[in-house]
Amino acid sequence: MPEPTLTLAPGESPPTARELRAFLHGLPGVDQVGAEERAARLSTRSIKTSAKAEAIDLAIAMVDLTTLEGADTAGKVRALCAKAVRPDPGDAEVPKVAAVCVYPDLVGVAVEALRGSGVGVASVATSFPSGRAPLEARLADTRAAVAAGASEIDMVIDRGAFLAGDYGKVFGEIAAVKQVCGGAHLKVIFETGELVTLDNVRRASWLAMRAGADFIKTSTGKVSPAATLPVTLVMLEAVRDFRAATGRQVGVKPAGGIRTTKDAVRYLVLVKEVAGPDWLTPEWFRLGASSLLNDLLMQRRKLATGVYSGPDYFTLD
């Protein structure tokens, strides 16, 4: 990996567009076949029953429980928040999730419902999911979400600018959003299904981390393909190498299309094998999902009781 010559110290001026391009195109190319093969190999790894129980609880604690529909209501968000704090009303041992993720206008409702619970409130500010709005509008969206109490902001990058090679624009926008985040953590969404190649995923990862991302996130959940194991593998390599180069740890959040316990466990194996156990906590790894939690709860109950409760047992995610 190249030396971290472009890392920004506080107050330091950002790299020029030319420097960024040279840096990002100087990153080693991703061996696409190798990445896919390694992800497939790790995904077949089986884990013992006791380890599976631990993995399920860890996965629950890592969920960003998400609702991002045009039809979302305050009532739906309140119900989701209750579920986030107490995922299984019949079992107080089930951990709470990491955060509830909503549109900016519903942040206040979630903040109120989650007060004192320790569950975070994440908001997809920046004109999610397309990001197609003037920067000022995206910054205003972010400011409003932070002012309403969001502890985490999930921003989308301008994929058009990125694909056109306008890395300076993307860098500047991430840095600007980071600035208005204040104390809120910034997750930067690449929409990897639109980035075409794994080389681009690696470039976007380094670009976002250098611009100040606290987390890098695969997808909005609105574009297919969304999260995949090979894409997440490349992002996990990037955060591992970035920490080795700069000393700063950045989290990873695959999101979109993650629906089963089997999928979740595959991601956890990938985290441990690629980035390492330091990332195996909700502080550094999240699963963005609107309909994963119920499967985790059903599999958890089945492991504990031997009986499969069925999808009707739990309230909707």
Q: What is the DSSP string of 267-282?
A: HHHHIIIII-GGG-ST
287-289/99-102 β-pairing:
unpaired
Active-site choice (64, 88, 141, 154)? 154
Active site residue 154: yes
- Binding status of residue 68 toward ligand G3H by CB under 6 A: yes
Q: Residues in contact with ligand G3H, total (CB under 6 A)?
A: 14
Q: Which is nearer to ligand G3H, 15 or 131 (CB)?
A: 131
Tell me the CB-side half-sphere exposure of residue 293, using CA atoms within 13 A: 32
**Minimum gap (Å) between residue 286 Cβ and ligand G3H:** 9
User: Do the Cβ atoms of 257 and 225 come closer than 8 Å?
Assistant: yes
d(CA 214, CA 228): 21
Closest CA to 63 of 111, 96, 92: 96
Active site residue 214: no
Q: How far is CA 233 from the centre of its chain?
A: 13
Q: How far is CA 115 from the centre of its chain?
A: 22
**Which stretch in 22-30, 86-94, 256-264, 272-280 sits in contact with ligand G3H by CB under 6 A?**
256-264
- Binding status of residue 30 toward ligand G3H by CB under 6 A: no
Site string for ligand G3H, 187-226 (x = CB under 6 A): ---------------------------------xx----x
**Minimum gap (Å) between residue 103 Cβ and ligand G3H:** 11
Residue 137's H or E segment, with its range, is: helix 135-147
**Which stretch in 7-15, 22-30, 88-96, 288-296 sits in contact with ligand G3H by CB under 6 A?**
288-296
Any idea which residues carry the catalytic annotation? 154, 217, 253
Binding site for ligand G3H (CB under 6 A): 66, 68, 101, 220-221, 226, 255-258, 288-291
